[in-house]
Amino acid sequence: MLEILHALLFSTLDAAPALVFAALGAVLSERAGVVAVGVEGMMRVGAFCAAVAALAMPTALAVCVGMLAGAALAAVHGFLTIRWRSDQVVSGIALNLVALAGGTFLLESLYGPNGTPPITQLSRWELPGLSSVPVLGALSGHSAPTYLALLLPFVFQALLARTPLGLRLRAVGDKPQAVATLGLSVAGLRWGAVLGGGLLAGLGGAVLSTAVLDRFEQHTPAGLGFMALAAMVFGRWTPVGAFLAAAFFAFGNALRIGLVSSAPGLLELVPQGMLLALPYMLTLALLTLQGQRSNAPAALGAPYEQESR
Amino acid sequence: MRERVTQALPSVLSVLLALAVCWALIALTMDAGTASDAYLQMLWGGIGNWPSYLEGAAATVLTRPLGEAGMKAALLTLTGLSVAIAFKVGLFNIGAQGQMLLGALAAAVVGAQVSLPGVLHVPAALLAAALAGAAWAGIAALLKLYRGVHEVISTIMLNWVAVSLVDAWLVVGPLRGVAEGGQSITGTAEIQPTAALPRLLGDLSRLNLGFLLALLLAVAVWAWLERTRSGFETRAVGLGAEAARAAGVPVARRIGVAMALAGAMAGLAGAVLVLGTEGRYPGTLGAPYGFDGIAIALIGNNHPLGATVAALFFGILRAGGTRMQLLGVHKSFPELIQGLALLFVAGRMVWLAVLRRRQSSTEAPRA
């Protein structure tokens, strides 16, 4: 029993960081009032660039390249939505489509349909003294992003809730006029949040290709960016909430894979497709229960226009 | 008329710019000559190989490509209409893919399991697909109206539920077809001949009734939105729900009906795919026509006829895109052009600003 729990926890901790980072990126962007539908595309670009970079440089450095790539795509989003006040959902969807088709095109032109050549994965850290403890030992043996993913949500929560910068970021998503009245730059704050969100989404993607897998594949990230959006909504636009939701999704997935491999008989009772659909149906059910009380930023999706124009 | 042209101009420019960027991309990864050849192949593959026809080749060098283009255009038109209708009432339907899946499944089941005389079988299968799509979209509408769940999130989730339930369970489980020899096949059973959409050009191409159906529906949707009271009310809700409510428009009903119609269109796209081309629900309905519908609707400026024009154009590119593979250019290229075009459409404000600047510099400044 303890062994099963250990294995479940271990694979959750391995798989969750990508989702956690992307969800945090989405929270950051949306709290500042910019819709983050493009997270999926930013993850894909981050995953692709990190894998390609890792062929030429140390993997840890390649992860940074992936982050920058995510931020570059976010910059396009920022240019269209902040500078030119384009529809934020349209811009995000367009970026997803471009990342999907463009990634496939580049992958096949450069490396062929089977993905990039294998790369050196991020090194795993053995925590001395912890590896032999039952269950808790699952905390040992992960790569750096896992530990960062356990820490970052709480840092972000504190940052948003307790610092002047956090207050300004939240205000710019709720009432940009008020922020402008104080003489602060609405565009500047939003740019910061969007680029930060891009860095995080890029990191999420980079984790997929350098820690979860050892290459970039055709289908990476296969909808994980949309799961991150769900985690954000489900976590009510708070960093820790999104983290818990993302961890829950990752655990559910590990549970499904674990159950199927350890008890194949289960598939005779419950079809695979139903198990696959379960997390999404659960999300829908929870959103239904949660209803309108979700605290989405008030000015989310509304381009900011100065009155004086 | 002048206004119409200004409205459509950013879309046209966006598509042209996307074509140019993609040409440069092939030229960079391969070479300029190949890029031009690839575009020419794409053109002949989409509208028919006129040069070789004029040199005396059989008529199929025209009808085959045109038929393929028409087929793809029909699917893009229907999913584009789906997204555009939802847009008109102010909702973003990301769920056309899931609605299309459900429609395809319903059409495949009615087409294979139900026996009806020829004249009735096709309409029955189409109706089933439309209802299935409408029901799936209806879930998102109900969640929106009664629980305030944002449709972008709910339709994304419903897409995943549809893919999981249909592709990973129903089609490989309870609804899996059995071939003549008794061994099971991937996908559902073949539809009966009576349920197949008639081909418009016989054996000359795969073009089928679905193409005419899509065009007819596009005109019908346009007429409904522009020429009827309920269509007007639907647009009013989209422009401002509060104002519409104050003017006595039944907002909830308009949202519900529009979303159901959107789902029906996507469902019909699934039916056209199954009844017109595939003949059954194949192993996976991989083709993301539902997601393409988002791009088509937006490039078409959310206008039913604009979406149709965009769908015809991208249908041609898609059909021709398979030809590019002969030159080693990947088949996802037309999708890339589509995505870039949408990105440039999203930048329509930039276009308009550039155009305005040019206009004001050519016109004499007014005092």
For A80-117, the pLDDT digits (tens) are: 999 988 889 889 999 999 999 999 888 988 888 888 89
CB pairs under 8 A between A and B: 141
User: What is the mean predicted confidence (pLDDT) over A276-289?
Assistant: 86
Interface test with A, best of B23, B79, B139, B332 (most A CBs within 10 A): B332
B349 contacts chain A (CB < 8 A): yes
Cβ B290 vs Cβ B100: under 8 Å: yes
Q: Which residues of chain A have a CB within 8 Å of the CB of B342?
A: 90, 93-94, 97-98
B351 contacts chain A (CB < 8 A): no
Higher pLDDT, A309 or B207: B207
For B339, which of A98, A226, A230 is closest by C-beta distance?
A: A98
Tokens in use for B265? 């269109």
List b or e across A251-284, with b for residues whose CB sees 16 or more CB atoms inside 10 angstroms. bbbbbbebbeeeeeeeeeeebbbbbbbbbbbebb
Which residue in chain B is spatially nearest to A88 when comparing CA positions?
Answer: B346
* A280–B295 CB contact, under 8 Å: no
Q: Which of B83, B86, B80 is closest to B259 using CA atoms?
A: B86
* B332–A273 CB contact, under 8 Å: no
**Low-confidence spans in chain B with pLDDT less than 50:** 365-367
Higher pLDDT, A80 or A282: A80
Place of tokens 């393409």: B292
CA distance B330 to chain A (A): 6
CA distance B217 to chain A (A): 25
User: What is the mean predicted confidence (pLDDT) over A183-210?
Assistant: 96
CA distance A135 to chain B (A): 32
CA distance B227 to chain A (A): 28
Q: Which residues of chain A have a CB within 8 Å of the CB of B347?
A: 80, 84, 86
B353 contacts chain A (CB < 8 A): yes
B233 contacts chain A (CB < 8 A): no
Instruction: Provide the pLDDT confidence category of residue A46 given band limits of 50, 70 and 90.
Output: very high
Which contiguous run of DSSP H or E holds residue A143?
A: strand A142-143
Q: Which residues of chain B have a CB within 8 Å of the CB of A271?
A: 168-169, 173
Higher pLDDT, A146 or A258: A146
Cβ B268 vs Cβ B104: under 8 Å: no
Q: Is the pLDDT of residue A293 over 60?
A: no
A104 contacts chain B (CB < 8 A): yes
Q: Which of B260, B298, B322 is closest to B71 using CA atoms?
A: B322
A36 contacts chain B (CB < 8 A): no
* B330–A94 CB contact, under 8 Å: no
A226 contacts chain B (CB < 8 A): yes
Per-residue confidence (pLDDT) for residue A308, from 0 to 100: 40
Per-residue confidence (pLDDT) for residue B366, from 0 to 100: 46
User: What is the mean predicted confidence (pLDDT) over A224-248?
Assistant: 91
* B149–A93 CB contact, under 8 Å: no
* A94–B152 CB contact, under 8 Å: no
Interface test with B, best of A287, A289, A304 (most B CBs within 10 A): A287
Burial class (CB in 10 A: 0-12, 13-18, 19+), B3: exposed
A222 contacts chain B (CB < 8 A): no
Torsion-angle region of residue B329: left (phi > 0), alpha (psi -120 to 50) or beta?
beta
Q: Which residues of chain A have a CB within 8 Å of the CB of B343?
A: 76, 80, 91, 94-95, 97-98
Per-residue confidence (pLDDT) for residue B362, from 0 to 100: 60
Alpha helices in B48-117 (DSSP H): 50-54, 60-88, 96-113
B286 contacts chain A (CB < 8 A): no
Q: How many residues does the structure list for chain A?
A: 309
A303 contacts chain B (CB < 8 A): no
CA distance B48 to chain A (A): 25
CA distance B202 to chain A (A): 34
* A94–B150 CB contact, under 8 Å: no
User: ipTM of the assembly?
Assistant: 0.87
Per-residue confidence (pLDDT) for residue B334, from 0 to 100: 87
Instruction: Give the predicted TM-score (pTM) of the model.
Output: 0.90
Rounded distance between C-alpha atoms, residue A297 and residue A232, angstroms:
12
> Which of A44-58, A287-301, B271-285, B339-353 has the largest mean confidence?
A44-58
CA distance A268 to chain B (A): 11
* A230–B342 CB contact, under 8 Å: no
Cβ A25 vs Cβ A198: under 8 Å: yes
User: What is the mean predicted confidence (pLDDT) over A196-210?
Assistant: 97
CA distance B44 to chain A (A): 22
Cβ B160 vs Cβ A223: under 8 Å: yes
Cβ A276 vs Cβ B164: under 8 Å: yes
